[in-house]
Amino acid sequence: MMKISVVTVAYNAADTIEQTICSVLEQGYEGLEYIVIDGGSTDGTIEIIQKYENGIAYWSSGPDRGIYHAMNKGIDAATGDIIAFLNSDDWYEKDTLQYVAQVFHKDMDILAGGVRSYSGSTQREQKAADDWKELFIRMIYNHPGIFARRELFERYGGFDEYYQLAADYDWLLRMYVQGRTVSYTKKILVNFRTGGASSAKEIHRESMDASLAALQALKDQKRIGSMEYEDLKHKVMEYRQDAMMVFDFKSALKEHFFARDGIADEVKAIWNFNRKVSVFGCGEAGAECLELFRQTGILPVCCWDNQKSRWGTYWKGIAVKNPADIHKDDSVVIITSTYYEKEIERQLTNMGLEENKDYILYSWMRRSLCDLLKRYYK
């Protein structure tokens, strides 16, 4: 039987770690080796770990140098054929380990599975992708959904503690540079909560550094030519710099920057709306867009959303309508969905709407304010 080592690192996670531990122990997989590395918690986390220690192969508690030092401790303690990492606020689907053991064949280096993410009351499924070029631009796998052979850590090392937030991304890139492969499954294996360290602005700086270093290594190995290298380098920098700009934008919004004297007029001059506006998407980005409109004195006529349960209701004080009725409205539609932007764009295009005339991407609207933020916002 294939032995699977699952490592959970924790620090003051009393509110969530019991669900994490139970989701591992209730797998019922006989080849499980469960390892918990605690960073010296003081909130009751240790007591919860002790409650389940009969099912835990190894656990320790003490200060560490950060999450990746703790994860490296887990690697050192692991003896399984495969190593996986499950955060202390995440949880497995019921059959995850059995499924991994069934599909992980002898020629496989790394298996990446789908995850279901939760942000407040919003959830979405993120399926693992099979596109190495996209991996160099952004992290297309979530590390709780990754299962890797222990021999990879033994041969190439664990997580580089130079990185405070992106060492898991760096490790995957290093594996690709070493010629190792990632197999993927669209099956949902893990549930995880967003909003932790991976949501920080600094992760984009670190990820850009790791990606550019890996691309340079591929170029040195002559696995990519100069033109492909420059193209990917440009895409990496554009994606990461845009992501960092979004964090500055969110900070400005929180400080009511766009409501300052004169700023609202500059913003409206940049957008130059000559029609009423409406918002497509009742999610986090939609709420952000409405706040931006509030600060700049723009009143949307309505919101559109593809969830039938929202039709005929009010969201943030704005009526929510069926997108099938968009053609009856004479407003410019602002597509705000972060994850379904392209799908909604196709939906509107199929309805005969034209980009920049009948609909505008909210992502473009944010980018259009980049120079304004650089001039005014510190």
Q: What is the pLDDT of residues 15-53, one digit of tens each?
A: 999 999 999 999 999 999 999 999 999 999 999 999 999
Q: What is the CATH number of the domain that holds 138?
A: 3.90.550.10
Residue 129: which of 143, 109, 114 has the closest Cα? Answer: 114
252-281 b/e with 16+ CB inside 10 Å = b?
A: bbeeebbeeeebbeebeeebeeeeebbbbb
What pLDDT digit, counting tens, does each position of 299-354 carry?
999 999 999 999 999 999 999 999 999 988 889 999 998 778 999 999 999 999 99
Return the pLDDT at 173. Answer: 95
How do residues 206-224 score in pLDDT, each as one tens digit? Answer: 999 999 999 999 999 999 9
Residue 69 and residue 154 in one domain? yes
- Give the three-class secondary structure for 121: coil
Question: What's the number of CA atoms in the CB half-sphere (13 Å) around residue 360?
Answer: 21
Predicted confidence (pLDDT) at residue 180 exceeds the cutoff of 90 = yes
pLDDT at 131 over 80: no
Residue at a domain's end among 164, 181, 196:
196
The per-residue pLDDT for range 260-307, each reduced to its tens digit, is 888 989 998 999 888 899 999 999 899 999 999 999 999 999 999 999
| pLDDT of amino acid 118 | 81
Say what the pLDDT of residue 250 is: 84
Please give the residue range of the domain that contains residue 326: 257-376
- For 67-85, how does the pLDDT look when each residue is reduced to its tens digit (9 = 90+)? 999 999 999 999 999 999 9
| Residue at a domain's end among 196, 223, 241 | 196
Is 214 part of a structural domain of the chain? Answer: no
Residues 26 and 173 both lie in one domain? yes
* pLDDT value for 248: 81
Last residue of a domain, one of 166, 196, 226: 196
Contact between 110 and 148 under an 8 Å Cβ cutoff? The reply is yes
Q: Does the residue 202 lie in any domain?
A: no
* Residue appearing with tokens 């009351």: 121
Q: Which of 140, 161, 132, 188 is nearest to 73 (CA)?
A: 161
What is the structure's pLDDT at 208? 93
What is the number of structural domains in the chain? 2
- 261 and 117 in a single domain? The answer is no
pLDDT per residue over 107-124, tens digit each? 899 999 989 988 766 677
Token representation of residue 133:
């070029």
Q: Which two tokens stand for residue 41?
A: 């918690």
